């Protein structure tokens, strides 16, 4: 995997991240979702590097082999603001003051928080299979609760989900080496069999139901929007369209400028299932930057 990429460890503000970097050119940061690691990008990252980009893929705080700091009662160490801060420190440490960001699933919340909190750093934002956390919770209905019940299960503290997941991680997180690739599957399985990682991933969801929503709602009240061009992509074979209909439309009130988007012909894990189509859509979005002025 990741031929020509360097595997490194980067530390900032006391949080150590496992990072993969390769390519040369304008920088792009790829942020994975739950329960994956940065290795989910192993089919996309080389395509973007070949298209002329420096590609940086970290394990987010709490995921994979990155640091898992102690939590607090408000789950602030696992807020998307804290994770976005890690990403900004990482990219600046690598010499990238301004860069594109792509986030999938939970990584999309980190990516959008990075764009909202640090607009000077984010040149373009692509969110994959996500709407803002505050929007998802505000629009929550019986259909959302039935399909995305894991948000509320993983977010519990009185009856923590970790005990259920740790009893049989393979049964809970159903994935196959045929689907992911053998090496990617091995990396994924190592992560989900680590109780510290499972706990940190649950903390991510606990933060999502509380402090992350508070941050989103504060942005809404204060009129903060995503300043950079925004691309919204979703998996045609997943349920974003069923839940929200006009998915880019959900983001319209959050975007200050250019907004575009469309479906990718895949299931939820589009970087693994449709890497060529996804890489092409991202590259075209960045190439079209001359239209955004």
Q: Which residues are catalytic?
A: 105, 268
C-alpha to C-alpha distance for 127 and 115, rounded to whole angstroms: 11
C-alpha to C-alpha distance for 24 and 51, rounded to whole angstroms: 9
Q: Say how many C-beta atoms besides its own lie within 10 A of residue 286's C-beta.
A: 20
Whether the upstream peptide bond of residue 6 has omega within 30° of 0, thus cis, is: no
The token pair that represents 187 in the structure block: 């990396």
Sheet of strand 54-58, all strands in order from the earlier edge strand to the far edge: 6-12, 15-22, 54-58, 27-31, 99-104, 122-128, 230-235, 259-264
Q: Which residues contact 5 (CB under 8 A, 6 or more apart)?
A: 20, 21, 22, 23, 45, 46, 49, 55
2 phi/psi in degrees, rounded to 5: 55, 45
Q: Reduced to 3 states, what is the DSSP secondary structure of residue 169?
A: helix
C-alpha to C-alpha distance for 9 and 31, rounded to whole angstroms: 16
């Amino acid at each position: 995997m990741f031929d020509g990429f360097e595997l490194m460890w980067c530390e900032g503000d006391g949080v150590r991240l496992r990072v993969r970097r390769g390519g040369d050119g304008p920088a792009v940061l790829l942020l994975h979702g739950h329960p994956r690691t940065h290795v989910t990008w192993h089919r996309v990252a080389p395509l973007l590097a070949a298209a002329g980009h420096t590609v940086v893929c970290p394990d987010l705080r709490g995921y994979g082999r990155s640091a898992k700091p102690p939590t607090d009662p408000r789950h602030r160490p696992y807020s998307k603001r804290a994770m976005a801060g890690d990403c900004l420190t990482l990219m600046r440490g690598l010499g990238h003051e301004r860069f594109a960001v792509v986030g999938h699933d939970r990584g999309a919340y980190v990516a959008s928080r990075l764009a909202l909190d640090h607009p000077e750093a984010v040149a373009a934002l692509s969110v994959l299979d996500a709407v803002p956390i505050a929007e998802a919770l505000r629009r929550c209905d019986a259909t959302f609760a039935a399909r995305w019940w894991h948000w509320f299960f993983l977010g519990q503290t009185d009856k923590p989900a970790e005990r259920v997941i740790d009893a049989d991680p393979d049964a809970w997180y159903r994935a196959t080496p045929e689907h992911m690739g053998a090496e990617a599957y091995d990396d994924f399985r190592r992560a989900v069999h680590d109780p510290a990682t499972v706990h940190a991933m649950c903390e991510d969801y606990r933060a999502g139901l509380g402090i992350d929503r508070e941050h989103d709602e504060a942005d809404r009240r204060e009129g903060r929007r995503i300043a950079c061009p925004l691309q919204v992509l979703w998996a045609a074979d997943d349920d974003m369209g069923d839940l929200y209909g006009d998915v880019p439309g959900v983001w319209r009130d959050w975007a200050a400028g250019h907004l575009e988007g469309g479906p990718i012909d895949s299931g939820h894990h589009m970087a693994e299932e449709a890497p060529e189509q996804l890489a092409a859509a991202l590259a075209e979005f960045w190439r079209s930057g001359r239209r955004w002025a």
